Amino acid sequence: DGGITQSPKYLFRKEGQNVTLSCEQNLNHDAMYWYRQDPGQGLRLIYYSQIVNDFQKGDIAEGYSVSREKKESFPLTVTSAQKNPTAFYLCASGQGNEQFFGPGTRLTVL
């Protein structure tokens, strides 16, 4: 089955802790993206990567970090510097004009 997987589906963390969200794709897409979704605000771009070992900040990169060591993987770390990390996080991959989304990870900070 081709697609995008995100794990875990639900994640809880204490304030002050870093946490890493996983995103894997087997669609052989060059580009990968991380979005944050909050109620009533749509999706906002955190980071994106168009090729292995290269990535760029999106609109709300502060408090987040990423790596792109393999084409298939684009993990997102939510650091303790992120002031309001509770949200639904969506990963996507893309080729050409279309982006394909994973099922999302809901992060809750306790």
Partner 1 sequence: AQSVTQLDSQVPVFEEAPVELRCNYSSSVSVYLFWYVQYPNQGLQLLLKYLSGSTLVESINGFEAEFNKSQTSFHLRKPSVHISDTAEYFCAVSASGSARQLTFGSGTQLTVLP
Residue 20 or 50 having the CB closest to partner 1: 50
Smallest gap, in angstroms, from Cβ of residue 6 to partner 1?
8
Q: How far apart are CA 99 and CA 39, in angstroms?
A: 21
3-state secondary structure of 103: coil
Candidate segments 13-21, 64-72, 77-85, 94-102, binder of partner 1 by CB under 8 A: 94-102
Residue 8 interacts with partner 1 (CB under 8 A): yes or no: no
Between the alpha carbon of residue 32 and those of residues 15, 83, 89, the distances in Å are 28, 24, 13
Give Cα 22 distance to the centre of its chain: 8
Residues found near partner 1 in the complex (CB under 8 A): 4, 6, 31, 40-45, 48, 50, 90, 92, 94, 96-104, 106
